[in-house]
Structure 1
Amino acid sequence: MARINRLEPDSRPLWGKMTVGQMLAHCNVMYEMAFEQKHPRPSFLMRLLLKLVVKQAVVGPKPYPKNSRTAPVFLMKETKDFAQEKARLTAYIQQTQQLGEAYFEGKPSLSFGELTAQEWNTMFYKHLDHHLQQFGV
């Protein structure tokens, strides 16, 4: 939370094209997928491919490379309000903390099926850390 609070509306990325508002909105998508019925579940074939090809890169310990490709649902093309997206991200993180480890153990993700609590934790942290580093915090 301290790192998020160091972001400013005019923070610039060290790499990539997103604005800070777009980055926060981008990070919110992962939480939307975990907590809301906002995004459709990929087809069976796509889930199988994601599980076989992408899952380990997302839930494993290796950091994301800079400028790596992202799924279309995570692309942010329109302007996003910094304060609104920051507040949403903060609320999602607090919700995640309040629900705790037991909530996530065996919880299915839209893309990868059932995940362990550790896999959820790694996925949330790794994605957010990658983008906070992108903005120098």
Structure 2
Amino acid sequence: MAFPDIFTKEVTDSVIQRINLLTPEKQPQWGKMNASQMLAHCSVAYEMIYENKHPKPSFVMKFVLRKFVKKSVTNDVPYARNLRTAPQFLVSNIKDFAKEKIRLIQYLQQTQQLGGAHFHNRESHSFGPLTQEEWNNMLYKHLDHHLRQFGV
């Protein structure tokens, strides 16, 4: 299953439309996060791209991530429900819904404006260089998974 191309304006706009259907009161169909926490959680992937806020994994951890995790994160198979998340992606504190929504939308727009060619063979935080398709799969399927979690 090929995922829609997150680097195109049409797909980015459709994801933003789905985000705009969220409300702070919207309940998840599975999992423990509320809508505000989910938005913050989805932004972590973009923080790893655009901000120097998360420590890079050690050499050994990066090897483990490349060997055992990379394929499941970057392939075109949707995530199953209730999977454990990496520690850096855990969000358990209270978040401001409006702020998190704006932040995620800004990351999406920035990514789309840079375009897929910008990401081709770019070093990822945890997996080394990724192809444009791997970046697309990783970013789109994570967003889609959590938007489906909240019924949008």
Q: What TM-score comes out, normalization by structure 2 length?
A: 0.89
Q: What CA distance in whole angstroms lies between the structure 1 residues aligned with 2:81 and 2:44?
A: 19
- Post-superposition shift, 1:133? 0.3
Deviation string 1:90-110 (CA, Å, 9 cap, x unpaired) is: 000000000001110111011
Alignment of 1:109-128 (within 5 A): 109-128=124-143
2:98 alignment partner in structure 1: 83
TM alignment of 1:29-44, pairs within 5 A: 29-44=44-59
Q: What stretches of structure 1 of length at least 5 have no aligned partner? A: none
Identity of counterpart residues, as a percentage? 59
Give the match's secondary structure for 1:114.
Answer: strand
CA–CA distance in structure 1, aligned partners of residues 48 and 59 of structure 2: 17
Q: Deviations over 1:36-95 (max 9, x none)?
A: 111110000000000000001000011111000110000011011100000000000000
**Aligned partners of 1:85 and 1:79: how far apart in 2?**
11
SS of 1:86's equivalent in the other structure is helix
SS in 2 for 1:25: helix
> Could you say which residue in structure 2 is the equivalent of 1:67?
82
Measured on the aligned residues, the alpha-carbon RMSD in Å equals: 0.5
Residues in 2 aligned to 1:76 and 1:36: alpha-carbon distance in whole angstroms: 17
Distance 2:140 2:116 in 1: 14
Is 1:10 paired with 2:25?
yes
5+ long unaligned stretches in structure 2: 1-15
Distance 2:52 2:71 in 1: 24
Give 2:93's aligned amino acid.
E
Rounded to whole Å, the distance in 1 between the matches of 2:125 and 2:111 is 17
> What is the Cα deviation at residue 35 of structure 1?
1.0
2:64 pairs with 36, 46, 49, which one?
Answer: 49
Asked if residue 129 in structure 1 is aligned to residue 144 in structure 2, the reply is: yes
